[in-house]
Structure 1
Amino acid sequence: MLFRPLRQTSALLAAAALTMMTISACGSGDAVEAGSAGKELEGAKFVIGSKDFTENIMLGNLAVHLLKAHGAEIVDKTNLGGTVPNRKALESRSIDMYWEYSGTGWIEFLKNTKPIQDPAAQFKATAEADLAKNKIQWVGPTPLNNTYALAIRSEKAAELGVKTVSDVANLAKTKPAEATLCIETEFSTRDDGLPGLSKAYGMNLPKDNVKLLDTGVVYTETDKGQTCNFGEVFTTDGRIAALGLTVLEDDKKFFPIYNAAMTMRQETYQKYPALEKILQPLIAKLDDKTMQQLNARVDVNGEEPSTIAADWLGKQGLLGAGGS
């Protein structure tokens, strides 16, 4: 994916604002006090960035609290912006690390046009090529795969008998009035969005059947079923479960794999080898279900990402005694 789409909902904006309030509370860009899970990183100072949508902000906050607890001095630059600003900040040494996705690295940074469908192979190819060409180290991958999908409210899925994207393509031929789709603007033009999806599945939707909406509105309108029956969603979004939506199987495996991983410059990785050992226990726990739950606490419950991160890490035993 070239850019991770922005979660342009009121819940996200509130979460982002709260995140910035947290940064301001310790002084914008000021270091966060170290904790006590261990002293492997004592004397180290890291600037941690993140993209500006819920999941990446959440991941960034998890890293902030985890590395702080292991003795590092942290400058919190989460919610920095989109894919390009974070990558440029990493390369220019304005930040030391941020979470990126394997599909994004493969397509955007390495300029490949065809994704690799096997997750392990996709990550390996991305990590090896980025290290060789750009001296960027990938630490991961997490099990979570934050990719695109089509979803529908569950009762309507049962009524129409749809379980796969191929079923939607068939519906467009047999019952075109039912094949209505809500998507965001970016998805309407991307190769890994509607144009590519339509080509891969032979899905010809009438122009009037496709409605362009903000991301958050896509979820609510898909749930209502008035503007559209189907909606473009992200598989780790907590609103899927909260709204009782059914995610359709991408039976032709069109959408790329987007496993998250921590990216940093090779020199940082080599200077602080303890980072691998510290990050891997966190990485191993971040599967789709866990990330959906963490994202839902922001987008559905309105909780603040930094608070969620500290709470969750503590319950997982990753902060050690006294860590926060």
Structure 2
Amino acid sequence: MAPTTRPTPSPDPRPGRGRRRTARLGLAGAVASASLLALTGCGLQPATAFVPAVAPGSIEPIEGLPDDASLTVTAKNFTEQLVLGKIAVLAAQAAGFEVTDLTNVPGSVAVRQLMLDGDADMTYEYTGTAWLTYLGEAAGIPDQQEQYEAVRDADVANGLTWLEPAPLNNTYAMAVRSEAVPELGDVATLSDIAALPVDQRTFCVEAEFNSRADGFAPMLERYGLELGDADGVPTGNVSILDTGTVYEATDRGTCNFGEVFTTDGRIDSLDLTVLEDDQGFFPAYNAAPVLSTAVLDEYPDLADVFDRISPELTDEELRQLNLSVDVEGREPADVAFDWMVEKGFVTRP
């Protein structure tokens, strides 16, 4: 994406910024200490505030940046967020900031509160999460650009600025084991399921997805199928499984179609094929850099730093990065660092 030109701000006369930073450091220490005890959302790897040292690449120190310029980066405590958070930490360091690493915070609401209170300056957030959870809207918007614009515009009043979103859209999907695709008539979209014989319309889903107002039954209805109907999807065709077991069950052939998240590394490690949501049922959950508007006004060149990175963050890229952590057991910081070097954003010192 082309860099966005913003005027250089005058020196910040706002009172209390120093006091806010002092208070922030105390809170940051407390949260970071708690985070050392937390595991990632997939339950595999603990995260710490460690990141490898970096040297500039295509991201270079911002010209005229004060020596004491600082940035606090926060992220939630599951694998993808840890990787994205470490990417942000490394990018900010390469841009010349002293970075406080507040990644691995338990829960979306806690991260949101850090941003609203000014105790964190930057995070990667999902458009659908902000729209439904933080802003309290009743339904998500499937169109990715429309969902982004709605969240961006609404959060202005909260002192938060959303930069352009990444292509990655971590939303619900249905997947099938790849070797079964030709057996099922080269199924490629959710609409194709309705053309299959009833006995081949078998599903593995989690209990939450099965009961959500925007979950399994409404999805089937959108695609012309009724849950519990003998000519649609009989209840006997549905396996309700514990969280984390759907992927393996789908791979074993327990069902033909399993509920997945589009950026989960197990999609690649188990060679599953994601079906296209061709009727646009699932809400958009694109990740985007979100910054404190006050901090972005102070350091407007930060927008260019993160706008360089976002176009490279696709579903396919995140599946591989998540796989490196969840399947291969690597540290999120090392995975983020190697990716940043591979893309040329930073270099090894």
Instruction: Identify whether the pair has TM-score above 0.5, normalized to the shorter chain.
Output: yes
Q: Report SS of the residue matched to 1:57.
A: helix
From the two aligned structures, give the one with the greater helix fraction.
1
Please point out which of 201, 204, 207 is paired with 1:179. 201
Counterparts of 1:21-32 in structure 2 under 5 Å? Answer: 23=49
Structure 1 segments unaligned to the other structure (5+ residues): 1-8, 27-31
Relative to structure 1, the CA distance from residue 11 to residue 46 in structure 2 (aligned partners, 3 Å threshold; closer, same or farther) is closer
- What is the CA-CA distance between 1:192 and the residue it aligns to? 2.8
Q: Report SS of the residue matched to 1:111.
A: coil
Counterparts of 1:177-216 in structure 2 under 5 Å? Answer: 178-203=200-225, 204=227, 205-216=233-244
- What is the CA-CA distance between 1:59 and the residue it aligns to? 0.5
Moved more, 252-261 or 286-295: 286-295
1:38 aligns with 2:61: yes
The answer to whether the 8 Å contact 2:264/2:323 transfers is yes
Q: 2:246 maps to what in 1?
A: 218
The answer to whether the 8 Å contact 1:67/1:74 transfers is yes
Q: Report SS of the residue matched to 2:42.
A: helix
- What is the CA-CA distance between 1:250 and the residue it aligns to? 1.3
Relative to structure 1, the CA distance from residue 89 to residue 169 in structure 2 (aligned partners, 3 Å threshold; closer, same or farther) is farther
Query: Residues 219-248 of structure 1: CA distance to partner in whole angstroms, max 9, x if unpaired?
Result: 11110112x221111112222122111211
Cα distance in structure 1, aligned partners of 2:211 and 2:125: 22
Please point out which of 298, 317, 321 is paired with 2:344. 317
The answer to whether the 8 Å contact 1:47/1:74 transfers is yes
Please point out which of 64, 89, 92 is paired with 1:67. 92
The answer to whether the 8 Å contact 2:53/2:348 transfers is no
Structure 2 segments unaligned to the other structure (5+ residues): 1-38, 228-232
Q: 1:4 maps to what in 2?
A: none
Q: 2:328 maps to what in 1?
A: 301
Cα distance in structure 2, aligned partners of 1:265 and 1:307: 27
Superposed CA RMSD: 2.5
1:106 aligns with 2:131: yes
The share of aligned pairs that are identical, in percent, is 42
Cα distance in structure 2, aligned partners of 1:217 and 1:10: 17
Relative to structure 1, the CA distance from residue 199 to residue 135 in structure 2 (aligned partners, 3 Å threshold; closer, same or farther) is farther
Moved more, 284-293 or 156-165: 156-165
Counterparts of 1:218-237 in structure 2 under 5 Å? Answer: 218-226=246-254, 228-237=255-264
Relative to structure 1, the CA distance from residue 84 to residue 170 in structure 2 (aligned partners, 3 Å threshold; closer, same or farther) is farther
The answer to whether the 8 Å contact 2:40/2:77 transfers is no
Structure possessing the higher radius of gyration over alpha carbons: 2
Cα distance in structure 2, aligned partners of 1:51 and 1:163: 33
Question: What residue identity is the alignment partner of 2:244?
Answer: G
- What is the CA-CA distance between 1:186 and the residue it aligns to? 2.6
Q: 1:146 maps to what in 2?
A: 170
Relative to structure 1, the CA distance from residue 225 to residue 109 in structure 2 (aligned partners, 3 Å threshold; closer, same or farther) is same
- What is the CA-CA distance between 1:35 and the residue it aligns to? 5.4
Q: Report SS of the residue matched to 1:150.
A: strand
Q: 1:12 maps to what in 2?
A: 42
The answer to whether the 8 Å contact 1:43/1:71 transfers is no
Query: Residues 95-126 of structure 1: CA distance to partner in whole angstroms, max 9, x if unpaired?
Result: 22211111222222233334334322321222
- What is the CA-CA distance between 1:300 and the residue it aligns to? 2.3
Q: Report SS of the residue matched to 1:107.
A: helix
Relative to structure 1, the CA distance from residue 103 to residue 153 in structure 2 (aligned partners, 3 Å threshold; closer, same or farther) is same
Cα distance in structure 2, aligned partners of 1:138 and 1:10: 25
Name the TM-score, length of structure 1 as normaliser. Answer: 0.83
Cα distance in structure 2, aligned partners of 1:282 and 1:93: 24
Question: What residue identity is the alignment partner of 1:277?
Answer: D
- What is the CA-CA distance between 1:273 and the residue it aligns to? 0.9
Question: What residue identity is the alignment partner of 1:160?
Answer: L
